[in-house]
Amino acid sequence: MATAPAKLILCGEHAVVYGRPAIALPLADIRATATVAPSPAGRGPMIHAPDLGGRWHVAEQPTDPLSRLVITVIERFGLPADVEITIRSAIPIASGMGSGAAIATAIVRELLAYGGQTLPPAEISAIVYESERAYHGTPSGIDNTVVAFEQPIWFQRRPDQPPLIEPIVIGTPLTLVIGDTGVRSPTRLPVGAVRERWQADPARYEALFDQVAKLVVAARTALAEGDAVTLGRLLNTNHELLRDIGVSSAELDYLTTAARSAGALGAKLAGAGWGGVMLALTTSDQAPVIAAALQAAGATTTLVTTIAATG
Ligand code: PMV
């Protein structure tokens, strides 16, 4: 069995598509898993995904993104093709938690392991990026990177060269409460809307992205110093900027306000927006209080997760 973690973008989403830095965190305790078992000779690969509600022959649904991923990996690495791949995932889909990237990463790792091969994280990340493009169009690459490397990262696209990817220092453990709006929003919709607005008024959006970049730089320092109070303030600022960029929603605003009123150090939407999840930074003692407040405010699911200190 191979597994891969969920992820959250701590700060910098959307601006990251336009060359600004972002910070992403793997969530070690919320995972997708893939298991490969042999299937009858000549049948070819099958995918069984009980949580996604399906079981299908890859050959019969060749345009499905997961089918395409499986075909690509088996062909490129000469792996056994008569396999049944079972996927399970505890990660809500279309919610900003990297479900697609985690499932794809687990599948690639498991198919390779079954064929007696391994690849470094950078190469797995590149394969998953290709697969993510089928869902999202023009993803920045941050999701596949944080999931495949499974460590907190600083990520920045650069013209004409690979993205800058650096591990970041977490000075003290972080407690995050995640609240799900229950609204499923495919990443490409808000990403496409932001692109249209940016094209219509580049100066305004470039200025907003620059403000996001500034707070992401400050957040990196606050993380390294273990300064949760400053980090919380920066997350609140990031939420305001995401509102200005036009990717928040009534539910996301309501949940972030509820978390702050219940004593969170900071709260923001996480991921592409218009739905999906928000995150609140809190002390570990306060986490159950924040989770209860989010539930009372209408969150369909709440999760408490801890990001370990590095080094
Ligand atoms: O996949 P999500 O919902 O976590 O959002 C992706 C983050 C964006 O910055 C909005 C898009 C991207 O490709 O980086």
151-208 residue pLDDT tens: 999 999 999 999 999 999 999 999 999 999 999 988 889 999 999 999 999 999 999 9
The residue type found at 130 is E
Check: CB of residue 102 under 8 Å from CB of residue 89: yes
The residue type found at 301 is T
The residue type found at 173 is P
Pocket test for ligand 1, best of 7, 8, 10, 16 (most atoms within 8 A of CB): 16
- Ligand 1 in reach of 139 Cβ (< 6 A): yes
Cα–Cα distance, 10 to 105 (Å, whole number):
21
Model pLDDT for residues 87-136, shown as the tens digit of each residue: 999 998 888 899 999 999 999 999 999 999 999 999 999 999 998 887 66
Check: CB of residue 278 under 8 Å from CB of residue 268: yes
**CA distance to 14, 113, 169, 287, per residue, from 198 (Å):** 11, 43, 33, 37
Q: Is the pLDDT of residue 138 over 90?
A: no
- Ligand 1 in reach of 140 Cβ (< 6 A): yes
Active site residues: 143
DSSP H/E element including 182: none
Cα–Cα distance, 17 to 28 (Å, whole number):
25
Check: CB of residue 215 under 8 Å from CB of residue 234: yes
Q: Is the pLDDT of residue 137 over 80?
A: no
Cα–Cα distance, 88 to 28 (Å, whole number):
15
